[in-house]
Amino acid sequence: MIMKTRNPSLSLFFFFFLLRSSPSFAIDFIFNSFNSTSLLRYGNAIIQFESNILTLTNPYPSQIGRALYPHNIPMKSNSSILPFSTSFIFAMAPGSNLLPGHGFVFLFTPVTGIPSTSGAQYLGLFSREVDGDPNNHVFGVEFDVFRNQEFKDINANHVGIDVNSVTSLFSDVPGYYPDGGRGFTALKLNDGRNYQVWIKYSNFTIDVTMAPAGEKPGGCFICGAFVNLSTVLEDDMYVGFTAATGTLSQSHHILSWSFSNTDNVSWSDGLVTQGLPSFVPPGEPSKRSIGFIVGLSLGVFFVVVTCGVVGFVWVKSKRRLANKKAEMEEEDLDQVSGLPTRFSYEELKIATENFSKKLGEGGFGSVFEGSLTDGSKIAVKCLEGLSQVKKSFLAEVQSIGSIHHVNLVRLRGFCTWKSQRFLVYDFMSNGSLDKWIYHGTRKHPEESWHLLTVFQKCWDQETLLDMVDMNSEDMQTNHTEVMEMMKMASWCLQADYTRRPSMSSVVKVLEGGMNVEVNLDYSFIHPTIQKNNSQQKDSTPLLPSVLSEPR
């Protein structure tokens, strides 16, 4: 009976003892290596599969890397903050010939990802917009190698306690007490060596201890700092690491990590401290310099050779395409019907004595005098800027070549050679049409009238029909439209260019949408004279109709 009554009591006692010794909120873990499922990774954080270590950033500018334990961790029990202890081994190493920066943070955060964060001096923890906001609910221990006066950093090699801001509540120079706690030895955070850190929080105080991996620390360098996290940490938090670079850059590595949200600090004893990868820069700078120079030289040589090969292939390809395009154009020309005579470039070169007799030039090219083998004189117009409009050129040649009129210069033929285009006309020895319109140059009295004088006289006498070509049946039949075109031309030639129509108005007249303006000013002036007069005025903007000048 007694045994029966005692045994249930003893069992109940051990049940409550076990329940008390292993609370349901306890989270303990240890990583001596990492794999793809160990942590949540964001930004530039990666797992080095060869060594199974966590790399938060590589030594490249403007990087942010964050890694978190994949499950949120209870940090409060009955509204009371829970203790925690963690230990990890890290290494920070600058790249070769680079200024180092910036650092990393062991942190608690209520959210995953890297929202509202910036690199450089913000360490991937906050950004300027949210730094100092009590709603961040972020706690961290920073390992910073850049002194930022904005955040009141004590130096360029410090460890600080951060609460909702990168402006630390407490900070100190990292170091340890070797030889049983005699004498403090400062440690440089980013010399590439592997360092082990112990962080313990309990009863609103925090201790931070650090030593080279494998050595006894001897004592903390931040000891008993008062930090009330009751209003900072939420009931459940994510824990992990974040790091960043800016213009300054270095690599940030976490080699192993243990954590417990209880008073149990023995978990750190399970971290492996031997046989770890080394990130210490080589100790022989002369060899490193020679290797760097050789590597750089080979790299430059490879780039130059590659660029040369690529350039050679590109030029050859471009020439091949140009030749193929020229062949296709030649085939197109042979297939177009109704074209005038096609001259070869050599024929025109001989006819113009290697283009030596230049008659003049205009907006579309220069005109040269020449003679064909039959003795007839020609004017060869060398067009410029038309190499990419082959179809338009052929259409124009086909159109102009089919027009024959006593008052129009006949297009005798054309020539295409490489990217150049030539038009061959009958040579007219009576000078420029522009001079004939505006200046009397012939000897006979009846021919001393230039066209504008004749037009003005006919307008005044209401005899515009007399100007219509009597030899053209088509123009006589459509004499009304021809006179309307003459009126529109006079509208465009008024001496006061502000009264000239816009191109859209001309189009509307041609489409029948509006009439030519009445009360026109017919005191025409040669555009060259008008241009000279306009230059004497006060920066009055010239319309396109003036700037273009006669064609």
Give 26 or 37, the one with higher predicted confidence. Answer: 37
pLDDT above 70: residue 113: yes
483 — pLDDT class (breaks 50, 70, 90): confident
Q: In the structure encoding, which two tokens stand for residue 79, read together?
A: 């509204």
Burial of 281 (0-12, 13-18, 19+ CB in 10 A): middle
Percent of the chain with pLDDT over 90: 35
Confirm if 158 and 144 have CB atoms less than 8 A apart: yes
pLDDT value of position 324: 67
330-350 per-position pLDDT tens digit: 555 555 555 678 888 899 999
CA distance 101 to 173: 17
Q: Give the residue from 242, 144, 243, 259 showing the smallest Cα distance to 199.
A: 259
Secondary-structure class of domain 341-426 per CATH: alpha beta
Q: In the structure encoding, which two tokens stand for residue 315, read together?
A: 């030029």
Q: Where are the alpha helices (DSSP H) in 216-363?
A: 285-335, 345-351
| Predicted model pTM | 0.50
Place of tokens 């007399």: 466
Task: Name, of 19-23, 97-101, 367-371, the range with top average pLDDT.
Answer: 367-371
Contacts of 141 (CB under 8 A, 6+ apart): 105, 106, 107, 159, 160, 161, 162, 199, 208
69-97 per-position pLDDT tens digit: 999 999 998 889 999 999 999 999 887 77
Name the strand (E) or helix (H) holding 14: helix 2-21
31-74 per-position pLDDT tens digit: 999 998 999 999 999 999 888 999 999 998 999 999 999 999 99
CA 480-484-487 angle, to 5 degrees, is 140
CA distance 40 to 240: 9
pLDDT above 60: residue 445: no
522 — pLDDT class (breaks 50, 70, 90): low
Annotated binding-site residue? 381: yes
284 — pLDDT class (breaks 50, 70, 90): very low
Q: Give the residue from 70, 105, 65 showing the smallest Cα distance to 88.
A: 105
Our measurement of the distance from residue 324's CA atom to the centroid of its chain's CA atoms, rounded to an integer in Å, reads 35
**Residue 194 gets which letter from DSSP?**
-
pLDDT above 90: residue 164: yes
pLDDT value of position 33: 92
Q: Give the residue from 15, 49, 22 showing the smallest Cα distance to 33.
A: 49
Sequence letter at residue 43? G
CA distance 522 to 527: 14
CA dihedral of 236, 240, 245, 249, whole degrees rounded to 10: 170
Q: What share of the chain is helix, strand, coil (3-state, %, to 5)?
A: 30, 25, 45
pLDDT above 70: residue 413: yes
Place of tokens 């003679």: 371
In angstroms, the Cα distances linking 529 to 249, 501, 533, 534, 536 are 69, 20, 6, 9, 11
Sequence letter at residue 514? M
Backbone φ/ψ region at 354: left (φ over 0), alpha (ψ -120 to 50), beta: left
Q: In the structure encoding, which two tokens stand for residue 202, read together?
A: 């309990």
Phi, psi of 88 (to 5 degrees): -155, 160
Over residues 501-528, mean pLDDT: 74
Sequence letter at residue 174? P
Percent of the chain with pLDDT over 70: 77
pLDDT above 90: residue 420: no
Domain ranges of the chain: 28-270, 341-426, 443-511
Q: Give the residue from 367, 365, 352 showing the smallest Cα distance to 409.
A: 367
pLDDT above 50: residue 426: yes
CA distance 495 to 485: 18
CATH code given to domain 28-270 = 2.60.120.200
pLDDT above 50: residue 446: no
Confirm if 58 and 294 have CB atoms less than 8 A apart: no
Place of tokens 């592997």: 194
pLDDT above 50: residue 301: yes
Contacts of 505 (CB under 8 A, 6+ apart): 514
234-254 per-position pLDDT tens digit: 999 999 999 999 988 899 999
434 — pLDDT class (breaks 50, 70, 90): low
Q: Which of 175-179, 376-380, 433-437 has the lowest mean pLDDT?
A: 433-437
